[in-house]
Amino acid sequence: MAKVSVGLRGWRFEESEIFTDDGEFKPLDDIPEDARKRLVRLVTLVEEPCDGCYLVHGDEEIRQCRQARIVYGEPGEEVLLCDHHEPDFLYWFREEGGRDFVGDDVFADAFHEWFADGGRAPEGYAGLEYVDTDPDHLPSPPDPAEIQQRLVEGFEGERINLRDYGPDADADDSNLIDEDDLDDLDLDTDYPTK
């Protein structure tokens, strides 16, 4: 099976997991959980600026930032890069210990700190070569509003009693405030401070 990137290079998907035989995106319910999580996250990332550019220019000069073209890391802890800054990331990952942060929830922060401290790839450090096969004929990704609707559709939630998980879950709860007593609680009282 072929692996493809969608929207941004870096995250690769098994083609058969996300596309129908007609080349359209499958309904989200039919896409495996990991791929679905990445696709949903990609919808919010495709128009974001490169992290390297943003660290250089900041909010004040956001127009100077290039749009991200590449994503590395896990959803929620990803690094977004333009073609210009990808070699910096690859150098950090390969040569500066970035590989040690794979799967860690500080993956993006570790790269950002290294980059903000002046970390850069040496002149001429090679990035990766990509093969674009007919990128103009990819189907359009689902509309973000549609994705959001699908995620909340049918979600009823679950009531959880936090008292069941506290350190004294099996203790006598006779000293706890009853919900009926909350009506008598005076929240306008001034309490003494130090």
Please say if the pLDDT value at position 182 is more than 50.
yes
Q: What's the rounded Cα separation, in Å, for the pair 97 and 164?
A: 42
Residue environment code for 65-89, b if the CB has 16+ CB neighbours within 10 A, otherwise e = bbebbbbbbbbebbbbbbeebbbbb
- Note the Cα 93 to chain centre separation in Å: 19
Q: What's the rounded Cα separation, in Å, for the pair 35 and 13?
A: 7
pLDDT of 5: 86
CB 34 within 8 A of CB 103: no
DSSP letter string over 91-128?
Answer: HHHHHSSGGGGTT-TTHHHHHHHHHHTT--PPTT----
pLDDT of 158: 60
**pTM score, whole prediction:** 0.65
| pLDDT tens profile 138-173 | 555 556 566 556 555 555 556 666 666 665 555 555
Q: For the ranges 53-62, 69-78, 138-147, 180-189, which has the lowest average pLDDT?
A: 138-147
The sign of the CA dihedral 18, 21, 24, 29 is: negative
| Banded pLDDT at 130 (limits 50, 70, 90) | very low
| pLDDT tens profile 70-114 | 999 999 999 999 999 999 999 999 999 999 999 889 999 999 999
